[in-house]
Homo-oligomer: A and B are copies of this chain.
């Protein structure tokens, strides 16, 4: 307010503690004794719980590093500076202390593991928080599934923030397990852990001013809204961004990223398992633009998480491409926290949560240890014992697979529906609609592996309706047998591909009997399987076990002749009715747009 031409110190003022305090409504939630203790620790009047001593602080505000101690009290950073007093003191001289990393947009379901196992996998890599859009679970289990996620997230050594799924179901050709509309979204947006609207994938719906979108924008007013608009530019981008989405992770070219940034979007540079945009987008990060960029993984599969890592890999890559390490860390911490308004996250400064990473090497981003709320939770690449409790499958996500009676004749393909096929495009999840001559046997269209024609079957599995869609697919490359999976974006019915109806039936039944999962079958034998009992889409086992089983499934599929780099990865998209041009859902063959 007013000018003081010389600084003055507290000693100048006499405060009378007995003075009239205008306290008319002290709330119960403010922990005044803890606050006072932290004030004393900060001022060196009382020992800290833990002091990280002598490290180089990675200062995301100042953009450099400096040597100081970090004093931690009740899981919060009390002060950064010289702190000789501590109950516990950890010498980190020669190491770097930075905020733990934040994945600004991820679907944890892509890792095929349940939240505790996800935390166990990423925390040793320095990940401190993720903003997750749990729309896979939402498609299976709706709001009840969201509540199970929320419950599972509590107590983990990882901050799990949610965005509320905005596009369930993906289209009206899909049959998800549960509806998830504005009412459910509003409920979820009321959670403190829910930081905004999840990626608004239905951008065509936005552009035409769809009623459903209007309702979803209405319930999310005043929150952050995440965007999803691959390739959208020009006037359509202006319209889309003006409708609300303040961020986007779908840019694949520098021009697209630049246009979105200029339109006001936070650009989330994505390095996922399949979508990798760092090389294309890193030139976007300049002195002028870096505050408007952050990092996300979107989807990280079991292999990538296990063998590469998480945001630490992304940082290494950015630094190798020439980004200053402190700036790279700023993108991975403060920028993400600030955009999502995760107050108390993303910096090594007083009042911030002591969610920290100690690095052995700044340029290599080599994680020595991870701290969560002031406790060491991972060290030397491994989670600390007792940090993550055993996974338990929530009751409402168990036994989610319910199919009607399924007989061989349900898999028959009528000639009228067999004049077109889903045409696989190598290296893409988009497909072509191809016209074909059906292979006939006993008045029914059948698989003809020698002509690259297989059958694609989708079985409704949430409500045991008995609904089955059957069509042809060309280019999947199986010479015999069948694959089945209850991971089938976005409705997660059971999708199967095969050269033989008997094998198809066995593969589907194997998946159903596992409560969801993946299976490879040939000649009436189950060659490989992985149970996914959590909502039919996630394992409850640790990531390394899942990785071994998944590799065995892929090997088995390859042995049956599939030349695809990721046969189950592609199969999971064969029922997704919002990606052009052809799909098979439980409602049959769908020509998309």
Q: Which residues in B have their C-beta under 8 angstroms from that of A341?
A: 341
Contact string against B for A residues 279-304, beta-carbon threshold 8 Å, 1 for contact and 0 otherwise: 00000001111011000001100000
Q: Which residues in B have their C-beta under 8 angstroms from that of A38?
A: 239, 242
- The CA-CA distance from A292 to B199 in the complex, in Å, is 28
Select A209's contact among B39, B172, B219, B351, beta carbons within 8 Å: B39
Contact B42 A573 (CB under 8 A): no
- The CA-CA distance from A29 to B15 in the complex, in Å, is 48
Contact A7 B62 (CB under 8 A): no
- The CA-CA distance from A474 to B508 in the complex, in Å, is 96
Whole-angstrom distance from the CB of A71 to the nearest CB of chain B?
8
| Contact residues on A (Cβ < 8 Å of other chain), bracket | 35 or more
Check A207 for interface membership: any CB of B closer than 8 A: yes
Whole-angstrom distance from the CB of A249 to the nearest CB of chain B?
9
Contact A593 B230 (CB under 8 A): no
Q: Which residues in B have their C-beta under 8 angstroms from that of A202?
A: 15
Contact string against B for A residues 456-498, beta-carbon threshold 8 Å, 1 for contact and 0 otherwise: 0000000000000000000000000000000001000000000
Contact A182 B291 (CB under 8 A): no
Contact A592 B14 (CB under 8 A): yes
- Known A-B contacts A63-B287, A211-B21; the reply to A262 vs B15 at CB < 8 A is no
Contact B19 A236 (CB under 8 A): no
- The CA-CA distance from A258 to B235 in the complex, in Å, is 42
Select A79's contact among B27, B222, B239, beta carbons within 8 Å: B239
- The CA-CA distance from A347 to B264 in the complex, in Å, is 8
- The CA-CA distance from A201 to B1 in the complex, in Å, is 8
Contact B430 A231 (CB under 8 A): no
Q: Which residues in B have their C-beta under 8 angstroms from that of A275?
A: 2-3
Contact string against B for A residues 192-230, beta-carbon threshold 8 Å, 1 for contact and 0 otherwise: 000000010111111111111011011101100000101
Contact A22 B182 (CB under 8 A): yes
Q: Which residues in B have their C-beta under 8 angstroms from that of A30?
A: 214-215, 217-218, 221
Select A218's contact among B29, B43, B274, B298, beta carbons within 8 Å: B29
Check A81 for interface membership: any CB of B closer than 8 A: yes
Q: Which residues in B have their C-beta under 8 angstroms from that of A445?
A: none
Contact A231 B9 (CB under 8 A): yes
Contact A4 B430 (CB under 8 A): yes
Select A206's contact among B6, B39, B215, B343, beta carbons within 8 Å: B39
Interface core residue of A10, A22, A201 (most chain B CB under 10 Å): A22
Q: Which residues in B have their C-beta under 8 angstroms from that of A327?
A: 288
Select A427's contact among B5, B42, B428, beta carbons within 8 Å: B5
Having A2-B429, A23-B181, one finds 4 other A-B pairs with CB under 8 Å, namely A20-B172, A22-B182, A26-B182, A81-B235
Q: List 10 A-B contacts (CB under 8 A).
A: A4-B231, A4-B428, A8-B430, A21-B211, A23-B181, A59-B262, A61-B262, A61-B289, A262-B349, A288-B326
